[in-house]
Amino acid sequence: MNDPIGNYFDHPFSIDQVQRLIAPDNIKDISKSILIKAENEFPGITLEQTAWDILTKLSVEVKAFEKAKCEEQKEKLFLTHATSLHDTFILSRDAVLIDIYNEIKEMFVKLYRDLHSDENEIFDAALEPSEAALDFVDDFYGRGPHPPNALHSEGHQDSMGVCLFLALYEKFTHGLIDLIILDDVVMSVDCNHRRALCKSLSENFQEKQLLITTHDRIWAMQLKQNGIVDSNSMYEFFNWDIELGPQVNDIVDIWSRIQKDIDNNDIPAAAAKLRRGGEQFFSEVCDNLLARVPFHIDGNYNLGDLLFPAMSQIKYLLKEAKKSEASWKGTPLDEIQVLDEKRKKIFGTVADEQWAINVNVHFNEWANFTRNDFIPVIEAFQNLFDFFTCEKCNSTLYVVLDGTELNNLRCKCDYYHWNLVKK
């Protein structure tokens, strides 16, 4: 059998032979003899050897322990230094932040109170640093300090956020940066306070350049009416396309949209826009001039509800301005006289033309106006809008009160400013 493996299958074994080869009958005796032989050849470990092995292992462990102890002492030293640095940093940071919050608190509270001057709440706030955030609590109608999200609405919280941003902006950029960017900040600020935000921006940030984005057309119009922006600096983005991007309208103004309808000879659409724009514009005018508008419990006011009270109120205010000037100087200002004559002419034209708006908004079979028929109506209302608007700052005229008494009639830039108090 020179090649046992190669010739293995040449020598077949029976099953009985295979069993005896793998597990012979005397397997126990063979195993026992092997064990005895091994014990004789390799005697058991002595106590001395066992002790030596233990000491050797212990020596290794002791050295590892001593090394770990040394490392622990170094790490504790590092921890002590790091803790000291951290605590010093936190104390220094908090001291700086507390100083900042103390410096901006007055302006923050003032801005918020200006925005919510119509509410009875005497607003106050405590600003303190908390780890990497601001721990901010405010007094809710005298019921103690609470986090803003505990009791205030989302609109009030957003108002606080805007006011806090503006206060911080003024603190850190005063004399350095004259640009304020407000990106969709009125999405949750309720509509009753958006006009107040316009007024606050106008009064507190006159020297700043404002870059404002909004989805809210009403607030865009309020910004314009308060003289914060004018038509030439307003851009409308619409019809966004993934390939071409948005389309841009560089004058967000009702007149441009009305003119498109006129060019298309779509008089009903032009009339609807004029009425809608007039209702929006004269609601602002009536509010600014404290006009006497008939109350509607549902809060819905059409153009007629707003237009005539606004016209009546400006007539009354100009009359009072003339009386005031006469009481102080003996004769009213020529400027007021000229403006009042202009008023009579414009108001007369509007009275003649305004009927055509509703006729074209609603279905009337006989109302077949052409562009040439409706252009005089548009021109009459453009002149009327302009009459209530300062040509210098584009703000609408408004009344300033002294308590509950009329004090003066003016525009934002003071180009128009007439005393209403008699001598």
Q: For position 367, what pLDDT does the model report?
A: 61
**How would you classify residue 169: left for phi > 0, otherwise alpha for psi between -120 and 50, otherwise beta?**
alpha
**Structural domain includes residue 288:** yes
**Structural domain includes residue 421:** yes
Name the residue with higher pLDDT: 50 or 408.
408
**Structural domain includes residue 366:** yes
Distance CA 314, CA 320 (A): 10
**Structural domain includes residue 258:** yes
Q: Quick: pLDDT tens for 379-391.
A: 999 999 999 998 8
Q: Quick: pLDDT tens for 151-202.
A: 777 777 888 888 889 999 999 888 888 899 988 887 766 666 788 888 888 8
Return the amino acid letter for 132: A
What the block records as the tokens of 42 is 């390799």
Structural domain boundaries, residue 334? 254-423
Confidence of residue 245 (pLDDT cuts 50, 70, 90): confident
**Structural domain includes residue 64:** no
Name the residue with higher pLDDT: 236 or 410.
410
Whether the Cβ atoms of residue 311 and residue 419 lie closer than 8 Å to each other: no
pTM for this prediction = 0.56
Instruction: Give how many domains the chain has, as a whole number.
Output: 1
Q: Quick: pLDDT tens for 55-85.
A: 999 999 999 999 999 999 999 999 999 999 9
**Structural domain includes residue 281:** yes
Confidence of residue 7 (pLDDT cuts 50, 70, 90): low
Q: For position 1, what pLDDT does the model report?
A: 46
Q: Quick: pLDDT tens for 310-324.
A: 999 999 999 999 999
Q: How far is CA 113 from CA 157, 159, 164, 384, in A?
A: 13, 10, 12, 34
**Structural domain includes residue 305:** yes
Distance CA 256, CA 135 (A): 48
Which residue(s) pair with 410 in the sheet? Answer: 398, 417
What number of H helices and E strands is found in the chain? 13, 10
CB atoms within 10 A of CB 259: 16
Task: Please choose, from the candidates 181, 193, 243, 252, the residue with its C-alpha nearest in 3D space to the C-alpha of residue 220.
Answer: 252
**Structural domain includes residue 325:** yes
